[in-house]
A and B are shown apart, each in its own frame.
Chain A
């Protein structure tokens, strides 16, 4: 076995193909091992080395669905037995409308959806290409009434939520708003007034721009205090 070595600083910005480490490390997300055994970055992002696992935290990219993800979708088509949902991804979400005996187990009022309605849904199954099955058949899922939809880059969603929801808590408390963050980068917001909504929008842009610089939570916290002070 060849010698093990880390070739980058933790949290350093790396480009695709950049060598990150060699030797006995596990492959995390968005990295690959080349023919000579060197672990390289797949995407532009931040190097993330935790114990024996090497990953890259991407800084951009479209939303690729994962089973279990919560997404905010917009109804784009209803055709007979299925509802087609746009989830800001290369893949369209599909919700089958229950029929026959299946209707007895579910709340059929939830399926009374129109074109353009905004829904909170869960990724039930995804085969990686064509079939993306969503469900709204759970407590808390279904049509979102009122509020506004804001968007962030899907790659920045983990930063909007933060470790143990720390960032989301700051955003909610500072602006007094109800916020639901979808893994696909759509964010549903109900604010007390336009002022809070606009401050929130600015804060999201700031999170996007500065996500790679440490101390983000503190900066967002004082930014919102300042924005909402007068």
Chain B
């Protein structure tokens, strides 16, 4: 007998578009981003998004080990997405599994176009995404945090990468699906964009959508990503503004 039984809500979204957590279809859950919280990493960030709590750490560019992985003309980018055993309602068996290997790849490929890998030949940039608490949309939250950690590490980038998921529940296209919508919704589409060019670096779709719904979802996702990008900029600049204010004696 499982100790924890998931219960499907009777109504995922009401006729006038109110979701299980009270949000409107276009609304995002609350997001908070903090940069530079790990002392030993070259760059780090922490994101809280709805019930998600995710830590990202970047090491490098540093020497490649094992040596045979060295790329002579560019930096190697390695990513590890990992979920803590206590991050889910029921204990998750620690260690990599099919899902986390896929997400590691997807996150790496979402971030790599942003990095000037050719500036760091023969080195490696290691990105770690650690999910401490999961609540739907961990991969996109991870991309946002990892992008901040890369910038915090002082790595040369074309721009920040911001990410958000969109989905479909019944006839509604919804922004940032929550746990219920992730489990029992009709479609889920995580996406990431390299800002400010708004080049899509991640787009996955799970579940059917009409062309019209897809276009609407894309638009909704883009608007959410623009908002997240503003939050990322603010998060990166905040520590410097705090120091400046304290030095100048302004409260």
Q: Counting CB contacts under 8 A, is A17 at the interface?
A: yes
Q: Are A13's CB and B243's CB within 8 A?
A: no
Q: Counting CB contacts under 8 A, is B82 at the interface?
A: no
Q: Are B195's CB and A58's CB within 8 A?
A: no
Please report which residues of chain A, range 205-230, place their CB below 8 angstroms from some CB of chain B when the two chains form the complex: 209-210, 212-213, 219
Q: Using Cβ atoms and an 8 Å threshold, which residues of chain A touch B90? A: none
Q: Are A30's CB and B156's CB within 8 A?
A: yes
Q: When A and B form their complex, which 9 residue pairs have the shortest distance between CB atoms, in order from nearest? A: A17-B159, A61-B154, A60-B154, A90-B123, A129-B121, A16-B157, A129-B122, A42-B156, A90-B61
- List 13 additional contacts besides A60-B154, A91-B122; criterion CB under 8 Å: A13-B236, A16-B160, A42-B157, A43-B156, A60-B43, A90-B60, A90-B61, A90-B63, A90-B122, A210-B243, A210-B247, A212-B243, A213-B248
Given contacts A61-B154, A90-B62, is CB(A15)–CB(B123) below 8 Å? no
Q: Are A61's CB and B153's CB within 8 A?
A: yes
Q: Are A13's CB and B60's CB within 8 A?
A: no
Given contacts A16-B156, A16-B157, A34-B197, is CB(A90)–CB(B120) below 8 Å? yes
Q: Are A60's CB and B243's CB within 8 A?
A: no
Q: Are B123's CB and A44's CB within 8 A?
A: no
Q: Whose C-beta in chain A lies nearest to the C-beta of B71?
A: A129
Interface of A: prevailing SS: loop
Q: Are A62's CB and B240's CB within 8 A?
A: no
Binding site for B on A (CB under 8 A): 13, 15-19, 30, 32, 34, 40, 42-45, 58-62, 64, 90-92, 128-130, 155, 209-210, 212-213, 219
Q: Are A42's CB and B116's CB within 8 A?
A: yes
Least distance between B75 CB and chain A CB atoms (Å):
8
Q: What are 27 A-B pairs with beta-carbon distances under 8 A? A: A13-B241, A15-B160, A15-B237, A16-B114, A17-B194, A19-B196, A30-B156, A40-B158, A58-B154, A59-B154, A59-B240, A60-B43, A60-B152, A60-B153, A61-B153, A62-B42, A90-B60, A90-B123, A90-B124, A92-B63, A128-B121, A129-B72, A129-B73, A210-B247, A212-B243, A212-B244, A213-B244
Least distance between B215 CB and chain A CB atoms (Å):
25
Least distance between B74 CB and chain A CB atoms (Å):
9
Q: Are A15's CB and B243's CB within 8 A?
A: no
Least distance between A128 CB and chain B CB atoms (Å):
6
Q: Are A213's CB and B243's CB within 8 A?
A: yes
The count of A-to-B residue pairs whose CB atoms sit within 8 angstroms is 101
User: Which of B61, B63, B72, B154 is close to A44, meaning CB atoms less than 8 Å apart?
Assistant: B154
Q: Using Cβ atoms and an 8 Å threshold, which residues of chain B touch A59? A: 154, 240
Q: Counting CB contacts under 8 A, is B92 at the interface?
A: no
* In the complex, per-residue mask of B220-246: 1 if CB is within 8 Å of any chain A CB, else 0: 000000000000110011001101100
Q: Counting CB contacts under 8 A, is B57 at the interface?
A: no
User: Which of A130, A210, A212 is close to B122, meaning CB atoms less than 8 Å apart?
Assistant: A130
* In the complex, per-residue mask of B167-209: 1 if CB is within 8 Å of any chain A CB, else 0: 0000000000000000000000000001111000000000000
Least distance between A76 CB and chain B CB atoms (Å):
11
A58 to B243, CA, bound (A): 17
Q: Using Cβ atoms and an 8 Å threshold, which residues of chain B touch A90? A: 60-63, 120, 122-124
Least distance between A85 CB and chain B CB atoms (Å):
13
Q: Counting CB contacts under 8 A, is B103 at the interface?
A: no
A45 to B61, CA, bound (A): 18
Q: Using Cβ atoms and an 8 Å threshold, which residues of chain B touch A209? A: 243
Given contacts A30-B156, A62-B60, is CB(A17)–CB(B237) below 8 Å? no
Q: Counting CB contacts under 8 A, is B151 at the interface?
A: yes
A30 to B151, CA, bound (A): 13
Least distance between A28 CB and chain B CB atoms (Å):
14
Among B196, B241, B243, B247, chain A packs the most CB atoms within 10 A around the CB of: B247
